[in-house]
Chains A and B, each alone.
Chain A
């Protein structure tokens, strides 16, 4: 009996930090989770600034994939030089794009034009 009490007390002490740090409302937590984010680094295949679309080629080894994403008014473009716009990108540019998946597909939050060394 004494041993059972001791085990229960020890278990309670060990679990206390978990209980304290647990969110009060699991349902609220899951519904508030941000859309899954993805980062792609690849070469621009096509860009349409007016339509707000960007196609990137990414892949592993010789297995390549096309990634289509849209840009929004809030999409930040980062590059060296004067204030860049999505329309400044061109096929062959190397970029790093941070996106999130929405019901409408991938949306770019931030696109960074990567400087590549001379050949």
Chain B
């Protein structure tokens, strides 16, 4: 055998023997230094905060790992409350009344001072939304999909007449959003920094001010830790941990699963749940210019009146960002609020722009529906 053939054979062997990525694993191909940051970031991610170390006085969880658990970065069983006010066409996130994330717990000091167990629900809210904790695998890859892709793929006027009108959301400052169930937040870094503040009320260099209570200043003495309650290094490490979490390797497909994958495209699911996306450049080689299984277009779609809840940014109550289909096999609840307990239910609850694909799914023979579900359960 000549040398090129030997090299090719070794490469094929290496690819064939590549260990499958499990939920919670880091991206393959990280450098030693990046792997070290992943490990150190996981320590911060798994930290449990107390009032003395920055928790509260309002909070939803005592640490990132409380909601993104089993393993770290996975989904949890917590459901949180969001509230905004929609006065078409303007969405008010009710920041002046504690929105859009309404914390469900208080520290003992705040409870003693104000006699409340949770943040008061904003009186001006026009809607309440329930939100489950999603898996956060592969978010570093989603972060690097260029804005130009979202703009190129958007079809707000349905020019191709397929009944699907994707459009990007925009953050408060006008930048294109992509993270969160409404696709409101532009970057992973901001989402992570905001989560420290919104979920645990842990102030940090990106959000150094504590949230007040329903628009009223905090009573004296209820927030003993000096701001910011974590430093830049802790924030950066946590960000790297999340950024380096790999999407789990899909299970090997059998004959039914392969047929289901074809059906997924044929009936139109893949119009919004685009199977693969490509990242742009990153100084992190493991993230740079990578094609990866995403099953999202990162755009907003009208999902119909039955799923509608809050507005956020440009997203109307019925608009939701296409959920990336990652680690579905580990899920027990589906959709943004966990109302579906099976994948069949989740598909059947698609309305609005998703109703065409939903109807085609329902029209499939039972065996083909089962094949499509088998495919989804491989993800």
Contacts and interface: CB of A to CB of B under 8 A. Distances in A.
Contacts of A58: 172-173
B207 interface: yes
A4 B298 CA distance: 70
B92 interface: yes
Given A42-B172, A119-B156, A62 B100 contact: yes
Contacts of B101: 62-63
Interface in B88-137: 89-93, 95-96, 99-101
Interface string A69-90: 0000000000000000000000
Interface in B28-72: none
Contact of A119 (B167, B190, B197): B167
Interface in B331-351: none
A45 B84 CA distance: 13
Given A119-B167, A119-B168, A119-B314, A64 B93 contact: yes
Contact of B96 (A41, A66, A92): A66
A118 B156 contact: yes
Contacts of A43: 172-173
The DSSP consensus for interface residues of chain A is strand
Interface residues of A, number: 24
B294 to A, nearest CB: 21
B280 to A, nearest CB: 19
B191 interface: yes
B197 A94 contact: no
A42 B93 CA distance: 12
- For the residues of B in contact with A, the DSSP-based class is mixed
A116 interface: yes
Interface of A: 41-43, 45, 55, 57-66, 91-92, 94, 96, 114, 116-119
Given A57-B93, A116-B174, 19 more contacts: A41-B173, A58-B173, A59-B207, A62-B185, A62-B195, A62-B198, A63-B195, A63-B198, A64-B95, A64-B99, A64-B100, A91-B90, A92-B90, A94-B172, A94-B174, A117-B151, A117-B170, A117-B174, A119-B168
25 contacts: A41-B172, A41-B173, A42-B172, A43-B172, A45-B96, A55-B96, A57-B95, A57-B172, A58-B172, A58-B173, A60-B190, A61-B197, A61-B207, A62-B100, A62-B194, A63-B194, A63-B198, A63-B211, A64-B93, A91-B90, A92-B90, A92-B91, A94-B174, A118-B156, A119-B169
Interface of B: 89-93, 95-96, 99-101, 151, 154, 156, 167-170, 172-174, 179-180, 184-185, 190-198, 206-207, 209, 211, 314
Please give me the 8 A-B residue pairs with the lowest Cβ-Cβ distance, nearest first: A61-B194, A63-B197, A116-B174, A64-B95, A63-B194, A41-B173, A63-B198, A94-B174
